[in-house]
């Protein structure tokens, strides 16, 4: 299965893992400064963020781009 998308840096990584690692690295405040969406600013939680990001492609893309552009996160 891993040979299906060898050039995709997000292959095999769930959205929950991405959000969790970003929060661990930046904190909710830091994440909200980098990706300006309400689910990171007002009463943030992984569950509410996942619900929003799964329904909102532009926001999910911004979060995924931040994850990809943060090399320390992809080494875990």
Of 62, 68, 52, 51, give the one whose Cα is nearest residue 13. 68
| Predicted pLDDT of residue 1 | 44
Q: How confident is the model at residue 60 (pLDDT cuts 50, 70, 90)?
A: very high
Number of H helices, E strands in the chain: 5, 0
44 phi and psi, to 5 degrees? -70, 145
Rounded to an integer, what distance in angstroms lies between the CA atom of residue 71 and that of residue 74?
5
Percent of the chain with pLDDT over 90: 74
What is the greatest pairwise CA distance in the chain? 40
In this prediction, residues 24-28 reach a mean pLDDT of 95
CATH superfamily entry for domain 15-71: SAP domain (1.10.720.30)
**pTM of the predicted protein model:** 0.85
Domain segments of the chain as ranges:
15-71
Q: How confident is the model at residue 2 (pLDDT cuts 50, 70, 90)?
A: very low
């Amino acid at each position: 299965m891993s040979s299906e998308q060898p050039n995709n840096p997000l292959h095999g990584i769930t959205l929950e893992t991405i959000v969790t690692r970003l929060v661990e690295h930046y904190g909710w405040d830091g994440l909200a400064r980098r990706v300006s969406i309400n689910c990171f600013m007002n009463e943030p939680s992984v569950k509410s963020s996942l619900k929003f990001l799964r329904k909102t492609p532009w926001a999910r893309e911004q979060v995924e781009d931040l994850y990809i552009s943060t090399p320390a996160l992809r080494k875990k």
